[in-house]
Amino acid sequence: MVEHPARETQKDKRDFLKLILVGSSFAWLASIIYPVISYLKPPKQSEVVVKSVKAGKISDFANDSGTIIKFGSKPVLLIRNANGEFKAFSATCTHLDCTVQYRNDFGLIWCACHNGKYDLNGRNVSGPPPRPLEAFVVTLQGDDILIHKS
């Protein structure tokens, strides 16, 4: 069978128009979706980078206790153990982002959300946490307690 040349050209034209139509539809969709997705992406806000904070005076913290300290926008757990020594760790559980606490009855750091436990060196010892807590450096300046990023 011989193809009619005029019909062939018409088919080519139609295919070309289809391509233009589909292509421009996608371009049109993209021109709508792209700004919407970009709009929904929260802009990066420049936060003041906190390197150290003053947690308070030594006398503010009883032996065998833990306190959450604001470290910029993050919580840090400051622990004073039974011997009066200070240690600080990120208070954000490495499992699913809950805020941990010091439990003097366990002698451990505990996360109430999924029963994760860390020892007083921040090591994950029981439950679901996959990693140790990030440690912070505690220094004493006279009577003041300073917490630094390690």
Partner 1 sequence: MNKFSSRVYQWMDERFHLSDAIDFMKKKYVPVHRHSVWYYFGGVSLFLFIIQVVTGILLLMYYKSGEDQAFESIHFIMSKVQFGWLIRSIHSWAANLFILAAMIHMFSVYFERAYRKPRELTWFTGMLMFFVGLTFGFSGYLLPWNELAYFATKVGTDIAGVIPIIGEPMLYFLRGGEDVTGATLSRFFGLHVAVLPAVFTVLLGVHLLFVQIQGMSTPLHMQHLEEHEIKKMPFFPNFVLRDLLLWLIVLNILAILAVYFPWELGRKADPFMPAPAGIKPEWYFLFMFQTLKYIPGHVLFIDGELFGILMFGLGGLLWTMVPIWDRKSAEGKRNKTVTYFGLLIVIFIITLTIVGWLV
Say if residues 138 and 145 touch (Cβ distance below 8 Å): yes
11-43: burial string, b at 16+ Cβ within 10 Å, e else: eeeeeeeeeeeeeeeeeeeeeeeeeeeeeeeee
CB 137 → partner 1: shortest distance, Å? 20
Does position 113 interact with partner 1 (CB under 8 A)? The reply is yes
Does position 78 interact with partner 1 (CB under 8 A)? The reply is no
Q: How far is CA 49 from CA 58, 72, 74, 75, 88, in A?
A: 25, 8, 11, 14, 18
- The burial class, CB within 10 Å (0-12 / 13-18 / 19+), for 68 is middle
Does position 41 interact with partner 1 (CB under 8 A)? The reply is yes
- Residue 150 and residue 147: Cα distance in Å, rounded? 9
Q: How many residues bind partner 1 (CB under 8 A)?
A: 28
**Which residue among 131, 139, 143, 144 contacts partner 1 (CB under 8 A)?**
131
What is the H or E stretch that residue 71 is in?
A: strand 65-71
**Residue closer to partner 1 (CB basis): 21 or 112:** 112
The residue range among 12-20, 50-58, 120-128, 133-141 that interacts with partner 1, by the rule CB under 8 A, is 120-128
**Which residue among 35, 70, 137, 144 contacts partner 1 (CB under 8 A)?**
70
Scan residues 86-105 and list those touching partner 1 (CB under 8 A): 91, 95-101
Does position 68 interact with partner 1 (CB under 8 A)? The reply is yes
**Residues at the interface with partner 1 (CB under 8 A):** 40-42, 45, 68, 70, 73, 75, 77, 91, 95-101, 111-115, 124, 127-131
